Amino acid sequence: MKKNKPKYKQIIEAAVEVIAENGYHASQVSKIAKKAGVADGTIYLYFKNKEDILVSVFKEKMGQFVEQISTSIDKKQNAREKLLTLIEKHYYQLANDHHLAIVTQLELRQSNKDLRLQINNVLKPYLTEIDKIVNEGIEEGLFRDDLNLPLVRQMIFGILDETVTNWVMKDQKYDLVKQASAVHTLITNGLSK
């Protein structure tokens, strides 16, 4: 299978670096090839076209991203801890891979609607993970049972996404992971006394 060949991984890694360093639109295929240490043509033995590189980057990286989070969550006992873990791991992983953070928060958004729909598909398992936690919280009696699930899902994702984007736009100058607890509190308790 192509995806297990070393060059496939090389190209993916090179793509993340090149996109993070140069931005989406200045990321020529030739630059990615050079960074990956392969010929331009070799790219096309592993990817259909440039867009396919981008989608693949996202799939690979998001696959790992979600898996890491899922694994960590599974070790936790209740919805409260699971939600905290989701937030922490979400922040932790992006904080520890600056290139990936830039790519997911800024560069990959510079794509057309079709590509964005594909990216959304890749994100579905992550959103399902959120849903599971919320449902569990309701069953545990921790969360209110009148919650509008899709809305809660968008709320949680929106908060995490915006806080990470803000951190990236501020050049990653502060400690993202430290915010996890406060964000957790805000999500669970809201603004009210």
Residue type, 109: R
Cα–Cα distances (Å) from 56 to 32, 72, 100, 158, in that order, read 14, 24, 13, 23
Please answer whether residues 157 and 64 qualify as being in contact, where contact means their C-beta atoms are separated by less than 8 angstroms. no
Q: Is 28 in the site for DNA (CB under 7 A)?
A: yes
Please answer whether residues 5 and 43 qualify as being in contact, where contact means their C-beta atoms are separated by less than 8 angstroms. no
Q: Is 95 in the site for a copy of itself (CB under 8 A)?
A: no
Smallest distance, a copy of itself to C-beta of residue 163, A: 5
CA pair distance 164, 147, nearest whole angstrom:
25
The one of a copy of itself, DNA, none whose footprint includes residue 187, by CB under 5 to 8 A per kind, is: a copy of itself
Smallest distance, a copy of itself to C-beta of residue 154, A: 5
Place of tokens 């989070």: 69
Residues 170-189 that bind a copy of itself (CB under 8 A): 179, 182-183, 186-189
Task: State which of residues 5, 48, 98, 116 lies at the interface with a copy of itself (CB under 8 A).
Answer: 116
CA pair distance 29, 171, nearest whole angstrom:
26
Three-point CA angle 110, 151, 115, nearest 5° = 20
- Taking CB under 7 A as the rule, which mask of x and - marks residues 33-52 in contact with DNA? -----xxxxxxxx---xxx-
In the complex, the residues that contact DNA under the rule CB under 7 A are: 2, 5, 7, 25-30, 38-45, 49-51
In the complex, the residues that contact a copy of itself under the rule CB under 8 A are: 23-25, 106, 109-113, 116-117, 120, 134, 137, 141-144, 147-148, 151-152, 154-155, 157-163, 166, 169, 179, 182-183, 186-193
